[in-house]
Structure formats: C-alpha cells, structure tokens
Amino acid sequence: MLLLLPLLTPAWACGGFVPEAGSLTSSDAQQALFDIGAEEIEVTYAARYSGNAADFAWVIAVPGEVLAVEEGDAELLAALQEASAPQVEVDPASDDASGCGCGAQGTKGGDGALNDRVGGSDTGGVTVTGTGFAGDYEYTTLSATDAGSLLTWLDEHGYDGSMISTAVTAYVEDPLDWAFVAVRYAPSEPDASAPVALDPLRIRYGKAADGALHAIFPGRLGQTSTVDHVHTETYVLADSRAELSGGWSAPENPDEKDGHTWDVVTVDYASAEGAWLTLLLAYGDTKPGMWMTWSGSHEGRWLTRFDSYLTPSTYNSDPVFSESGDNVQADTVIYMMAEATWQESYEGEGAVVAAGLASFGFMLWRRRRVPR
C-alpha cells in the first residue's frame, strides 16, 4: 500500500490576504493545525499565494485572546501530512467492488512595516495589543470595537481591505469578541505567477468572551477570493477524535460495500490524485462539507484530518472543530484497478474520474512515496 501524493503544502482562507492598493494577491490552498489544550489552543496556518503585490498584509481572525504569535513548525506539518495521507492500493479484489465516489522568504522592517506605522496604541475603535517578529513575518495584534475603524486602520497602513470588509464586520460584531493578527509580508519576488508557499505561522490563544475555547477556522475572510476552488487540509490534535459543526458536515469514514472497505476506485492508468479530487468534489465543491481523511493515534495525541475542495463563496460560515469524546479510527484508501477489470465494470464511469485530472496536477507538491 502506498501513500497518495499530498495535495499541497500550504494555501489560504485561514486568513485574508490584503494587498497594497492597485495590486493583486490570491491563494488556492491552505493548511491549518489546531492543537487543543486545556487552557489554550495553538493554531498553525500555512498559506500559498500568487499575485503581483510587492507588499501585503495577511489578516487572521482569532476567536479568543491572543497570547503569542510565533514561527510555525514546518516539519511538524509535513509529518502530520505524511502520517495522514490517503493511501493507494493497487488492484484489490476489484471484480465486485464498486465506487468512484513554505519556502518563500519575507523581509523584516522597512519603511512599509506595519509596526513602523502603528501611530499609537489606540486609534479610534482599534487597539494595538502587541507587535513583534515571528520568523520572517512582522506582526501586529489588534482588537476592534467596530469594523469601520479596523478597515480604516488597514487603509491608513496602505492596504485595501475592501474584499474582507463583510467578514471583518461579522467578526467584530460576534459576541465571542474576536481578535485580529495582521502580518506584513514583502515577497522577495513580487510577481508570483506560480503559487509560492509561505512559511507557517503559529498563534497561541486563550478563551473567548464566553469563557470557552473555540477551534474555529476563519474561512469567511477568504470568501471573496477570485480563485475557482481552494483546497484545505485541516488537522486537529486533541484527546479524542475531532468532529465538525457550525453548519458543516463530514461523512463518517471509511465506507464499506460488499465486504470491501474503500473510499474511491480508479483505473491503474489514471491518476490517483484525480480520483482524490473527485471524492473531495463529491463532498464539497459548493456544499459546506469536508472529508474525514484520517483519524488515529499520533505521538500520544489523537489526530483527525479533514480535507475539502470548495468554491471560496461556500465559506459563508466558519467550520468549527471540537472533541467528540470517542476515538474511532479511519483512513482513506484509493484503489487503483486493473485496466481490463475497469473496462468491464466501469465503462460509463471513467469520464467522472478523469474529468478532474488536468486541473488537479498544479496543486501537488511532489514527495517520495513511503510504505505505510
């Protein structure tokens, strides 16, 4: 059995990319890791971007008090991705099966730095609660009593917040009293026609205004992205299997039919990644759904992984992750069937699998296949 090649390293929607006025920055994929503790949550975001902005802010909404902003652990994300990746199994008992179901470097300081242009700790309805560096990022933590003041703050610091204005308004008006982290990034190569992976960023935060911890993915900040679809890998480390809520659903995994456990079946001369995309589209696309890719014990914690491939506008609400209290194992298996068997059994379904192959390849970050 082989691991399926990962869909990515990083991407977006974990926060809003806010470019300088007159420039463009967008993203088509993302990773988020929620490590849920007793008194705080560590969330690590990794993002991939393309565009022509010489300077942009990465705005992240946080459902609680920000305790620290730090450089994220890229090796940890890579290890979790490898441990939970979909598996490929070649030619199982397929005669009666059925189916188909961050390397870029920023610059520190500079005349355009967010921290250099704060202009005081309190500006109208915005309070600057902290500033500093996290690896190659320069960050400012903020609280806001009204959305207009926060958007004005971004505008005064040279960034166009118009695309995230609706989401910012919703977070500011939410009784959880969301905080914000604005991260400045200056690409070494501003004209990024091909996606560039950003280094991960980790935020430690405490309880919200209601006295509880919340693992919420702030997807609404990416709702107005101009890309067709965004792929998201979400990892949750906790004491038990994570479950999804907030108007979002995830199918129980794995499925079983005719005595065989399977998730998706494809042909041996087709791409397993194409079949994986087809599966994610079946549970996502324009529906608020994610696929539970993996659930199991990992380094003394319980790891749950969710994958989605969605149109950005689908994020009209935020996915919420919480502990289920049980530890049900799950993984994802893609069967690569023999060509002759497929031709006999799946003559009419081949086009479904093949449809996504051409558009899917650009999302892959090639890695060595490892026996599991």
DSSP 288-319: SB-EEEEEEEETTEEEEEEEEEE-GGG-SS--
Q: How far apart are CA 99 and CA 95, in angstroms?
A: 12
Number of structural domains the chain divides into: 1
Residue 368 falls inside a structural domain: no
Question: Is 306's pLDDT higher than 90?
Answer: yes
Question: Domain residues for 56?
Answer: 2-363
250 inside domain: yes
Domain-embedded: residue 150: yes
pLDDT of residue 346: 42
Using an 8 Å Cβ cutoff, are 164 and 200 in contact?
no
Report if residue 244 sits inside a domain.
yes
- The pLDDT assigned to 333 comes to 83
Residues 6 and 80: beta-carbon distance below 8 Å:
no
The mean pLDDT of 10-28, rounded to a whole number, is 45
pLDDT above 60: residue 144: yes
Pair 235, 34: CB distance under 8 Å: yes
How large is the average pLDDT for residues 173-182?
95
Whether 369 maps to a domain, the answer reads: no
78 pLDDT more than 70: yes
Among the residue ranges 62-76, 120-134, 194-208, 357-371, the one predicted with the least confidence is: 357-371
Mean pLDDT value of segment 9-25: 43
Give me 139's structure tokens: 């960050």
The pair of structure tokens assigned to 124 is 């109208």
Q: What pLDDT score was predicted for residue 212? A: 98
Alpha carbon separation from 283 to 217, 220, 323, 330 (Å, rounded)? 18, 19, 22, 17
pLDDT of residue 57 exceeding 80, the answer is no
Whether residue 188 has pLDDT greater than 50:
yes
Instruction: Return the structure tokens found at 234.
Output: 């979400």
Judge whether 372 lies within some domain. no
Q: Are 85 and 6 in contact (CB under 8 A)?
A: yes
Judged by DSSP in three states, 320 sits in strand
* pTM recorded for the entire structure: 0.78
Instruction: Copy the structure tokens of residue 40.
Output: 């705080």
Percent of the chain whose predicted confidence (pLDDT) is above 70: 63
371 belongs to a structural domain:
no
